[in-house]
Amino acid sequence: MPTPLYNAVAVLSWPVFNLVYRLHSTGVENVPPGGAVVAANHTSNLDPWPLGYPLWPGRQLYFMGKSELFNPVLAPFLRAGGAFPVRRGESDVQAIETAVRLCKEGKIVAMFPEGTRRQKGLRKKFTPRPHAGSARIALAAGVPLVPAAIKGTDSMLSFPQLRVAYGPPIQVDDLAGLPPKDAVDTATKRLMAEIDALYEGL
C-alpha cells in the first residue's frame, strides 16, 4: 500500500491532474497486481508522477533518484515518496539490487530506459541507445515487464492534456534458454518497440 506521504501528495494532486491537465489513462488493467517493472519514455523530470497517478490509490511507484538529492534533509521525504538512490553514470549494483528486492516484495518499480530526457519532437531513431536496466531487473526478479508511454509532460506550461498508456507485459518466456545478456538485450528491444508504439497511439 502507498505510504502516508504518497497518499497525501496524491490527494493534493487530484485537482491538478484531473482539472488542470485533464489526465487520461488507458490500459491500467495491464499492470499486474503483484511486483512489476513499468518502463516508459522520458520527456520530463515530472514523468514519474503522472505515470504513477492512474495506479493510485491501490499502488505506489518506486523509482531511482539521483544520489546527490539524498541529503539528510531531503532523503526521508524522497524515500517516503518511493525514491531510492542511484549513482548516475555508473553501474550501480546496489540500486539494481534494491529494485529487484522491491519487485520481489510485490511493488512496482518505474524505469525510464531512455535514460536522459527525450527532447521535444525528437524522433525515436535519434534517441540514445536504451539502457537495459528495466529488462535486467524484471528478469532477475521474475516479474512482468510492462511498457508504458506518457505524452504532454514536455509542455506543462501550456497546460496540455496529459495522457498515459500501459501496454500488456513484454513476452519473455521464450528467452529462458538464452545467455543472460542476450535475454536482456532482446527483452529491451521488444520493450522499446512497444513503448514507441504506445507513444505514437497517444
Closest CA to 138 of 108, 158, 115: 108
Closest CA to 131 of 49, 192, 82, 66: 192
Q: Which residue has 501550456 as its cell numbers?
A: 158
pLDDT value of position 125? 46
Contact predicate 78/65, CB 8 Å: yes
pLDDT value of position 116? 58
- The SS3 of residue 47 is coil
pLDDT value of position 85? 84
Q: Is the pTM of this model over 0.95?
A: no
pLDDT value of position 87? 77
pLDDT value of position 68? 84
- The SS3 of residue 164 is strand
| Burial zone of 35 (CB within 10 Å; 0-12 exposed, 13-18 middle, 19+ buried) | buried
The string of pLDDT tens digits covering residues 141-162 is: 999 999 999 999 999 999 999 9
pLDDT value of position 179? 96
pLDDT beneath 70: ranges in the chain: 88-91, 115-128
The CATH label, of 3.40.50.1980, 3.90.1170.50, 3.55.10.10, 3.40.1130.10, for the domain at 4-201 is: 3.40.1130.10
Task: Give the separation between CA 201 and CA 191, rounded to whole angstroms.
Answer: 15
Residues in the chain: 202
Return the ∠ at Cα 44 (arms to 98 and 185), rounded to 5°.
50
pLDDT value of position 112? 94
